[in-house]
Amino acid sequence: MAYTTLERCRAILKITSTADNDLIEDAIAEAQDAIDQWCGRTFEASADTTRYFDSSAIKGATLTIDELAQVTSVIVAGQTLDPTSYRLEPRNEIPYTSIRLLNGGSWNVGLDDEVAIAGRWAYSVESPKTITRAATRLACYYYKMAIEAPLMDVVANPEMGTVTIAKGIPNDVRMLLQNLRRII
C-alpha cells in the first residue's frame, strides 16, 4: 500500500483529467521511498513477511528485533511459541523492538538454529496520518517538479529579485517527519 492515494493528490493538485495519473503515481512511489529513506524506517506493512534472527540477537530472555507492528508467529528451532509465553516490547506501544520470554523461558537457539518471526515489519500496520499528509505534500511537489522541471531546483532572477527554490525534501515536509525519524 502507498502512504497516500492518487485521488488525494489529484484533489490537492486540482487535477480532474486522468491523463497524468501515471506521472502522479510515480510521484507517490518516489515520495514514499524518500520518506522511508529520510526517516530510516518503513511506516506501514500491508502483508506478513518472515524475518530470521540468530543467537547474536539474544540477550538472556530478550530477542532484539527490527521494528514490528504486528506479530503472527514466532518459531524457534521449528517449534511455534504460544503467544502467552512471550511479551512484545515496549509494552502498549508500537513498533515493537524486542520479544521477551516469560516465566523463565529460554530461547534454546543453537549455533545452526534461528528464530523465525512472521508479521508486519514496519512502524505500524497503516501509515500514521502525519505520514499520509507528508507523502501527499511530497508527491504533489515531485509531480510539479516533473512537469515544471526547468522551474524547479534553480535560482532565477526575475525582475523583482532573486527566487530560490529549495532542493530535496521541502522544509514543511521535513518538519512533519522530524519526530518520526528513527534514532539508532
Burial profile 81-105: b = 16 or more Cβ within 10 angstroms, e = fewer = beeeebbbbeeeebbbebbebeeee
Q: The domain containing residue 148 runs over which residues?
A: 6-43+127-180
Dig out the grid coordinates for 104 from the structure.
Answer: 523463565
Residue 152 has pLDDT above 70, yes or no: no
Residue 164 has pLDDT above 80, yes or no: no
pLDDT tens figures, 93-120? 999 999 999 998 889 887 778 999 999 9
- The strand pairing partners of 119, in sequence order, are 49, 71
pLDDT of residue 38: 95
Domain count, the chain: 2
Boundary of a domain, candidates 97, 120, 143: 120
Closest of 176, 128, 168 to residue 3, by C-alpha? 128
Boundary of a domain, candidates 80, 100, 120: 120
| Pair (113, 55) in one structural domain | yes
pLDDT of residue 113: 85
Q: CA-to-CA distance for 60 and 42, rounded, in angstroms?
A: 28
**Is the peptide bond prior to 95 cis by the omega test (within 30 degrees of 0)?**
yes
Boundary of a domain, candidates 69, 104, 120: 120
pLDDT of residue 110: 79
- Is 1 a member of any domain? no
